[in-house]
Structure formats: C-alpha cells, structure tokens
C-alpha cells in the first residue's frame, strides 16, 4: 500500500530508523566484543597446549634418541617438529616455533621446507617460485577438502643427502569410471577412501556416501626449476617433493598470511637467554591483531644433560574470528530489528492515518453542524428582523411560531449530538430484553403515518417469520425509526416501502433513486456529503439517520448493509435471532 508521507511522518521515521540502527550496532558490537574476548582466551590456551605438545615430543626424542641420531638427523627432526604442530591449524590464528640450545643458538624454526632433508625454501627459491609452488599446493588442498583428486603433482629429484636439485610440477587429468572411453589409458588410480592425514590417522568414508575412484588418463608438465646441476651419470627418478608449507591446507591466503608475517618469523640466529625465568611470557600485544610470544625451557632439571629452549610466536585475529562466528547472528539480528522497525513504522503510520481520519471527521462534523445550524439561525434572524422593522400584529404570531419551530429544530440537532456522544461512551449500559423487530416496525409506522399519507406511499410487510433479538427497546426503536424515516424521506411520491421479515434478517426497501457507488460506500458515515465543497443542504448529505442506526445495531451485535435494488434502495438488518 502506497502511503503518502507527510513531513511529520518523515521526521518520525528518521529517529526511529536511527534508533533501531544504533540499538542493533550496540548489541552486535557488545556481543562481538564478548565473543572476541573468549577467542583471545581460546587462542592463548591453543598456544599453551601446542607448546606443551612440542615440548613433550622434543623431551621424549632427546631422552630416548634412535641409534642413527647424528647431527644431520637431529637437525632434520627438529625442523620437522617445528612445522608438524602447525597442522591442521585454524583460520584466524597462526603459530611459529623455534628451538634454541643452551648457548642460545638457533637449532630450527618453523619455515617453508622441501625435500626429505627439509631444506628451507628461502635458501633455494625466489619469492615468486615459492608462491607459485604454494599456489599449486593450495589448489590441491581445496580439491582435497572437496574429496576430489589433486590437480597438480609436485615432484623432485634429490641428491644423496636429500636436498632437491630439480623440481617439476605436472598437471593431471582425472576421470571417473563412467567417464572413461575405450581410447583412455591410465597409470594411476586415486581412491578417496580410506585416506591418511598428516599424522598417519586413517579415516573412512560415510557409508551413505561411498568412495569415488578416479583414473589418471593424462598429464603434462607446467612448471620446472633446476636448482643446481649434478655431475653424475646416474639421474635419480622424480619422487614426491615433500613440501612443508604451514597452513596451506587452509588455503593459499592463510599460507600467504603466515609466510609474510614478520612477527611469526622473527627468530634471531642467536638469542640472549641470560636472566631467563622459567615459563615467563615474552612481550605481547593486544589490539585488532592479537600477538603473543612465549619462551619455555625444555628441561629445567639441573641434572639434565641437555637444555633446550622453545620460543613460540602467536599471531591471531580474534575480532575477525568473532565476526565470522557471529555472521549468522548478525543476519538474524538484522532481520529481527528490521521486522520490529517495520512493525513500529507501520503502527505509527496507521496511528497517523487514524489521526488524520479523526481530524477529517472532526472537520466534516463541524462543517456539517455549521451548515445544519446556519439554516435555522438564518430563518430566526430574518423573522426577528421583520418583527423589529415591521410591527405587524397580524403576522407577529406567525413569525414567533417560525422562530420557535427553528429553535426546536436546533434543539433536536443538539439532542442528536448528545445521543451520538452517549453512543460512543464506554459507560453505555443497554437494558436488554427480548424484542420483536416486526412489532417495533409497526409501532414506528404508526408514528410515520401522517408523512406516509402525505406522500401517498404504499407500505407492504411480508412476514415469513418474526425476527427477534435481545436488546434495549428505546435504542432499537430509535434505530428502526431512523431507517423507516429515511425510507420515507428519500422515497418518490406515490412510491412504495416493502418490508420483509424472516428469522435471521429484516429488509426495508423503498422506491427511491438508486445511490452511486460512493454513496453506498459512505452512506453510514456521519454527515456524509458526496460534494463536500457545497453546503450541507446543497450537498444532500444523508444526515444522522443511517449513522445512528448503524451505531445502535452494532451495539446489539447486528449488521446493517445498504444496497441498490431493481426498484430502488434497501437496507438489510441481519444477525442471530433469539428464537
């Protein structure tokens, strides 16, 4: 529905919308802040738990080393352990670890590595090459999460010490069994189940979703780098490149965020451990980006034959994590606030519509009363002036009778206004009794007999069964009088009034001029005039009769309708009979 907004309404709309927006933002901001605090605590717990796991792994390895535990093996193992506990990781928290010996010398730190010797990629690749390999691996990770085979295979040729000297990337073409053609040949089969994660734990598929088997039907090399030339007659075959790219399993952007963070990689080659206090936290910061660093000693027992220090750096985004956690609540809260705002605006508009309707009714009422009083007041004034100007005894009595008649008309109108006020009062009490509508009609027809005879009207009553109701006799008599008087006043000379009664309704039909659609719709309005620019008399308003009749009948739980017929116009009273 198109609502014409007044300036007053628009002035109301702005603070309502602004108020709801402010409430929504305050509630969401406070809720997000509380969730953000919880994420900060959770991230600190994650740091402590992961650090404890790294500590236990190193402690167990150092106290019970394998037989081949030489410096090279130790270096590779320390490098692997600083990366291993970064998996599987979370989107809004990134960790890095470094291990120092008792002299403060860096043994290993979390970084991107390749090959069985876990060679740091920064030592052998440019940043562009490193990002290219991460892009291939990241795309594979996304496919892995979708239970689809990898698009790329990253292979390496390694020297005798496990350091790669050539890296190549192949793009693979996979087909499902039903997609295979006779001409297709395949060299590898990729079965999605069972599969093994980084830590060696085997997972099985959902029984309702059986595993898919993919067949490699083609491949082509899309990337290649030779790191160094090997002077040997025997070239090793390509094998799995053993890439270790922290957080690549969460996607390329997460790896890039970790890789480019200076804080997460700020581990000096040698650090001063003098004055170190066991378990004391290092400098941390808390803002939009929540950072924390901690150093712990691996074996504080003085009898230990080795000392190791583990430094951990954490970089997290608790605000982003909280917003991601709250995203559905944001939508639900917005919808709820929007619904409440629309409801209040709708109610306010409805209230304004009612106020405007009341104001219009008040203006029409005052205008109608003014017009109603204008005629008798004008007559009284004319007769009074005639009495003053012409002292004619023979017309004195006539003038006075006219003045008295007009004052009685004004008194009647005032009585009608008082009656309307009483009808609208909540304190109105009806004296209820069983009433026969047929009897009330006959009583009021007797009162109208002079006017009916004057207009030479024919009255016919068709009574199939009496229509009986429970109500106040005085009020119901007045309603019936108004309807019959209206049927008489608006009838044509020598016309007819047809009254039909049955158990559930009473119809009063006259042979008056049919009403327009607008008159039918507004016939029960107070002082309705089809042409409001004209006076009450000229506009031929329908007076108080139908308005009062409807008010009285509604108080008695009865309905009344106004409609045209083939012979003229009729009103129908309907409702539940007490028979």
Q: Is 435's pLDDT higher than 60?
A: yes
Q: What is the pLDDT of residue 232?
A: 54
Q: How confident is the model at residue 89 (pLDDT cuts 50, 70, 90)?
A: confident
Q: What is the pLDDT of residue 234?
A: 53
- In sequence order, the 6+-apart residues with CB closer than 8 A to the CB of 72 are 117, 161
Average pLDDT over residues 26-42: 93
Tell me the sheet residues that pair with 266.
Answer: none
Based on its alpha-carbon atoms, the radius of gyration of the chain, rounded to whole angstroms, reads 49
**pLDDT, tens digit, for every residue of 93-145?**
999 999 998 888 999 999 999 988 899 999 999 999 999 999 999 998 888 87
Q: Supply 106's token pair.
A: 């860096």
Predicted structure pTM score: 0.62
Crossing angle for the helix pair 252-259 and 127-145, to the nearest 10 degrees: 140
Q: How confident is the model at residue 230 (pLDDT cuts 50, 70, 90)?
A: low
Asked if residue 164 lies in contact with residue 124, where contact means CB atoms within 8 angstroms, the answer is yes
Q: What is the pLDDT of residue 503?
A: 87
Domains in the chain (CATH in brackets) are 7-325 (no CATH), 432-574 (3.30.565.10)
More confident residue, 131 or 367: 131
For residue 184, what are the CA distances in angstroms to 174, 180, 394?
Answer: 11, 6, 130
Q: How confident is the model at residue 320 (pLDDT cuts 50, 70, 90)?
A: very high
Q: Among 198-212, 240-254, 261-275, 516-530, which is the least confidently predicted range?
A: 198-212
Pairing relationship of beta strands 458-463 and 496-501 according to DSSP bridges: parallel
Q: Among 97-101, 107-111, 176-180, 531-535, which is the least confidently predicted range?
A: 531-535
Q: Three-state DSSP class for 466?
A: coil
Q: What is the pLDDT of residue 384?
A: 82
Q: Is 491's pLDDT higher than 80?
A: yes
* DSSP output for 103-152: T-BEEEE---EETTTTEEHHHHS-HHHHHHHHHHHHHHHHHHHTT---SE
Q: Is 545's pLDDT higher than 60?
A: yes
Q: Which 3-state string (H, E, C) describes 10-67? A: HHHHHHHHHHHHHHHHHHHHHHHHHHHHHHHHHHHHHHHHHHHHHHHHHHHHHHCCCC
Q: What is the pLDDT of residue 432?
A: 87
Asked if residue 258 lies in contact with residue 244, where contact means CB atoms within 8 angstroms, the answer is no
Distance CA 509, CA 225 (A): 103
Q: How confident is the model at residue 165 (pLDDT cuts 50, 70, 90)?
A: confident
Asked if residue 82 lies in contact with residue 97, where contact means CB atoms within 8 angstroms, the answer is yes
Secondary structure letter of residue 219 according to DSSP: E
| Count of positions (residues) in the chain | 579
Q: Supply 91's token pair.
A: 């989107």
Place of tokens 């979390």: 110
Share of the chain above pLDDT 90, in %: 32
Dihedral angle sign, alpha carbons of residues 243, 249, 252, 256:
negative
Asked if residue 312 lies in contact with residue 109, where contact means CB atoms within 8 angstroms, the answer is no
Residue-averaged pLDDT of the chain? 81
Q: What is the pLDDT of residue 239?
A: 87
């Amino acid at each position: 529905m198109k609502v014409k907004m007044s300036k007053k309404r628009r002035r109301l709309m702005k603070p309502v919308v602004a108020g709801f927006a402010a409430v929504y933002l305050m509630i969401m901001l406070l809720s997000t802040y509380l969730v953000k605090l919880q994420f900060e605590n959770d991230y600190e717990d994650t740091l402590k738990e992961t650090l404890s796991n790294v500590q236990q792994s190193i402690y167990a390895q150092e106290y019970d080393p394998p037989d081949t535990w030489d410096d090279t093996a130790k270096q590779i193992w320390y490098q692997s352990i600083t990366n291993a506990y970064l998996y599987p990781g979370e989107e809004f928290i990134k960790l890095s670890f470094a291990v120092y010996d008792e002299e403060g010398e860096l043994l290993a730190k979390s970084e991107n590595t390749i090959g069985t010797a876990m060679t740091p990629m920064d030592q052998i690749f440019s940043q562009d090459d490193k990002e290219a390999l991460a892009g291939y691996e990241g795309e594979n990770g996304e496919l892995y999460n979708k239970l689809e085979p990898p698009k790329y295979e990253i292979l390496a040729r390694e020297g005798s010490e496990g350091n790669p000297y050539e890296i190549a990337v192949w793009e693979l073409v996979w087909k499902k069994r039903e997609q295979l053609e006779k001409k297709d040949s395949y060299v590898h089969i990729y079965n999605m189940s069972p599969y093994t994660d980084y830590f060696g734990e085997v997972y099985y598929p959902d029984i309702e979703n059986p595993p898919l088997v993919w067949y490699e039907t083609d491949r082509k090399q899309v990337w290649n780098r030779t790191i160094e030339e090997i002077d040997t007659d025997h070239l090793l075959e390509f094998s799995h490149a053993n890439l270790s790219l922290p957080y690549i399993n969460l996607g390329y952007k997460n790896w890039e965020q970790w890789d480019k963070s200076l804080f997460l990689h700020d581990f000096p080659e040698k650090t001063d451990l003098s004055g170190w206090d066991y378990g004391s936290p290092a400098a941390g910061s808390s803002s939009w980006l929540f950072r924390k660093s901690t150093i712990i000693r691996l074996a504080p027992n003085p009898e230990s034959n080795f000392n190791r220090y583990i430094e951990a750096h954490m970089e997290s985004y608790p605000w982003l994590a909280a917003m991601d956690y709250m995203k559905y609540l944001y939508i639900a809260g917005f919808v709820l606030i929007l619904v409440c705002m629309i409801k209040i605006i709708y109610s306010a508009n409805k209230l304004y519509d009612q106020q405007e309707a009341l104001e219009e009714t008040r203006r029409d009422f005052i205008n109608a009363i003014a017009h109603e009083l204008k005629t008798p007041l004008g007559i009284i004034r004319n007769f009074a002036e005639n009495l003053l100007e012409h002292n004619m005894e023979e017309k004195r009595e006539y003038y006075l009778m006219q003045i008295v008649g007009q004052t009685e008309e004004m008194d009647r109108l005032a009585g009608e206004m008082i009656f309307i006020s009483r009808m609208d009062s909540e304190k109105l009490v009806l004296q209820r009794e069983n009433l026969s509508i047929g009897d009330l009609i006959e009583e009021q027809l007797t009162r109208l007999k002079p006017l009916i005879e004057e207009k030479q009207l024919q009255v016919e009553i068709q009574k199939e069964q009496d229509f009986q109701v429970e109500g106040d006799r005085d009020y119901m008599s007045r309603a019936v009088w108004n309807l019959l008087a209206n049927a008489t006043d608006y009838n044509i000379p020598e016309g007819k009034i047809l009254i039909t009664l049955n158990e559930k309704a009473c119809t009063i039909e006259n042979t008056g001029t049919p009403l327009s659609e607008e008159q039918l719709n507004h016939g029960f309005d107070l002082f309705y005039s089809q042409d409001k620019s004209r006076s009450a008399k000229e506009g031929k308003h329908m007076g108080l009769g139908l308005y009062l009749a409807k008010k009285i009948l509604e108080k008695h739980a009865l309905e009344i309708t106004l409609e045209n017929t083939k012979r003229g116009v009729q009103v129908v009273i309907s409702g539940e009979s007490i028979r």
